């Protein structure tokens, strides 16, 4: 007989249908939240208001699930809604007092996450505030991110290694004359763990080394692709812009300031595990208290990073379940019409894109009819003739 602990351990991966359901429910909410946020992105809209709407929607939708279960199930925001514009790379989720608004023509990167019982689904998407097709270098950088994401989806599969993906996405970006942004990590996701130990590097260089790892069946990954028309070297311009933090669970320190102790106990109660935004804390006390918490490594900051002004940056992130019958990409959103200046001619990239996503099952089992609105992604190769503008539906 298995002990309870062993049973717990065993059931918490994708071999448990209940776990798969929780991932998919979280993904559905993340996709809808993304849809909502995109619809709110209009010229002159205040960024902080849109971020709030995204987070509120996730809290509301997850709050409606698993209400009547005996054991309380944690659920809610797994990553606060961020809206990073133009050459801002990531993590822009400003405080309530911030007046920044969107403008016509902005390239908007939306990043958010949702969890149910600690099973996390994250998504990021790039949208340009304009009518009609996106053209020129703006289209190149989005197509580069999308095509790299499509290639990664096909290479993150059991038996392949993390370095295969790192090399492939760089090759894709180069074919659009873009760079993959350094320092972005794609992580394995586990229950209540948004940054698991198995990672895929965006760019391999001497400063950043990660352990070689092989993907395995029943694992879940968040695949994070950020492309740039610039150098792809993120810069931290102002630490004061940082608003997203995550509790470093393994660190302890006796805080000296009263404000720090107050804010840290609030964080420990409300946000013990997942990243959160300082907007959700009492603002005046938070600013003071957060500094000491960060200085003593009790909180891990997610800094706002930038490319040079004038550079375009695109971001696509998705969650993929490595199921026994193939890869199931559970978060995505269709792209705008893109007209890039470059096309993919490289035979190796074309070969990657023609790989199927699902592995065919043995035997002649009847295929279940897809429910209305179900995505059926049976081994569909990406159409390379559309210059990476293939929609992700």
For 270-285, the pLDDT digits (tens) are: 999 999 999 988 767 7
Half-sphere CA count of 331, side-chain side, radius 13 A: 33
- Percent of the chain's residues with pLDDT above 70: 88
Q: For the chain, what is the domain count?
A: 2
Q: Say yes or no: 175 and 120 in one domain.
A: yes
**Residue 49 pLDDT grade (very low, low, confident, very high; cuts 50, 70, 90):** very high
Q: Say yes or no: 313 and 236 in one domain.
A: yes
CATH number at residue 130: 3.90.230.10
380 assigned to some structural domain: no
**CA separation for the pair 92, 109 (Å, rounded):** 9
Residue 234 has pLDDT above 80, yes or no: yes
**Chain-centre distance of CA 74, in angstroms?**
20
pTM higher than 0.85, yes or no?
Answer: yes
What DSSP character marks residue 385? G
Tokens 């957060």, residue located = 290
For residue 251, the enclosing domain spans 243-302
Q: How far apart are the first and last CA of the chain?
A: 44
Q: Say yes or no: 150 and 296 in one domain.
A: no
Q: Say yes or no: 166 and 257 in one domain.
A: no
Q: Say yes or no: 136 and 252 in one domain.
A: no
61 assigned to some structural domain: yes
**Chain-centre distance of CA 14, in angstroms?**
20
Q: Say yes or no: 282 and 317 in one domain.
A: no
Tell me, what's the pLDDT at 392? 41
Q: Say yes or no: 218 and 270 in one domain.
A: no
CA dihedral 58, 242, 39, 189 (to 10 degrees): -50
Strand 107-116 versus strand 179-180 pairing type: unpaired
Averaged pLDDT score across all residues of the chain? 89
For the beta carbon of residue 53, count every other beta carbon within 10 angstroms.
Answer: 17
**CA separation for the pair 257, 115 (Å, rounded):** 33
For the beta carbon of residue 294, count every other beta carbon within 10 angstroms.
Answer: 17
210 assigned to some structural domain: yes
Q: Which has the closest alpha carbon to 157: 12, 321, 13?
A: 321
Q: Say yes or no: 45 and 186 in one domain.
A: yes
**CA separation for the pair 84, 59 (Å, rounded):** 21
Q: Say yes or no: 96 and 233 in one domain.
A: yes
Q: What are the tokens at 71?
A: 């054991």
Least confident of 82-91, 135-144, 249-258: 249-258
110 assigned to some structural domain: yes
**CA separation for the pair 31, 123 (Å, rounded):** 7
Tell me, what's the pLDDT at 10? 53
Q: Say yes or no: 250 and 143 in one domain.
A: no
327 assigned to some structural domain: yes
**CA separation for the pair 201, 199 (Å, rounded):** 6
């Amino acid at each position: 007989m298995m002990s309870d602990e062993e049973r717990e351990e065993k059931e918490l991966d994708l071999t448990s249908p209940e776990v798969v359901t929780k991932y998919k429910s979280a993904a559905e909410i993340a996709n809808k939240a993304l849809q909502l946020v995109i619809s709110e992105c209009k010229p002159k809209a205040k960024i902080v208001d849109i971020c709030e709407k995204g987070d509120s929607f996730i809290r509301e939708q997850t709050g409606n699930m698993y209400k009547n279960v005996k054991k309380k199930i944690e659920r809610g925001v797994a990553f606060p809604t961020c809206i990073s514009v133009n050459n801002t790379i990531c993590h822009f989720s400003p405080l309530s007092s911030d007046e920044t608004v969107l403008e016509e023509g902005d390239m908007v990167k939306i990043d958010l996450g949702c969890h149910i019982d600690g099973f996390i689904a994250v998504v990021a998407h790039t949208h340009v505030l304009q009518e009609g097709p996106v053209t020129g270098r703006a289209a190149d950088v989005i197509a580069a991110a999308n095509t790299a994401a499509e290639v990664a989806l096909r290479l993150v599969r059991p038996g392949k290694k993390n370095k295969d993906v790192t090399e492939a996405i760089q090759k894709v970006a180069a074919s659009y004359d873009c760079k993959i942004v350094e320092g972005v990590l794609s992580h394995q996701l586990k229950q209540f763990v948004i940054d698991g130990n198995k990672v895929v590097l965006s760019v391999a260089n001497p400063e950043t080394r990660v352990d070689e790892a092989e993907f395995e069946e029943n694992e879940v990954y968040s695949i994070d692709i950020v492309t740039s028309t610039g150098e792809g070297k993120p810069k931290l311009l102002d630490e004061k812009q940082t608003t997203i933090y995550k509790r470093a669970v393994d660190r302890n320190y006796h805080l000296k300031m009263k404000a720090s102790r107050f804010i840290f106990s609030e964080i420990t109660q409300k946000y013990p595990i997942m990243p959160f935004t300082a907007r959700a804390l009492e603002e005046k006390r938070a600013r003071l208290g957060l500094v000491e918490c960060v200085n003593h490594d009790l909180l891990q900051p997610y800094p706002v990073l930038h490319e040079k002004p004038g550079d375009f940056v695109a971001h696509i992130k998705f969650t993929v379940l490595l199921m026994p019958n193939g890869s199931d990409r559970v978060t995505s959103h269709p792209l705008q019409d893109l007209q890039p200046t470059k096309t993919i001619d490289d035979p190796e990239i074309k070969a990657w894109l023609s790989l199927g996503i699902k592995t065919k099952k043995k035997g002649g089992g009847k295929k279940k009819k897809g429910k209305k609105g179900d995505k059926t992604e049976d081994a569909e190769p990406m159409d390379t003739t559309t210059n990476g503008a293939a929609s992700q539906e």
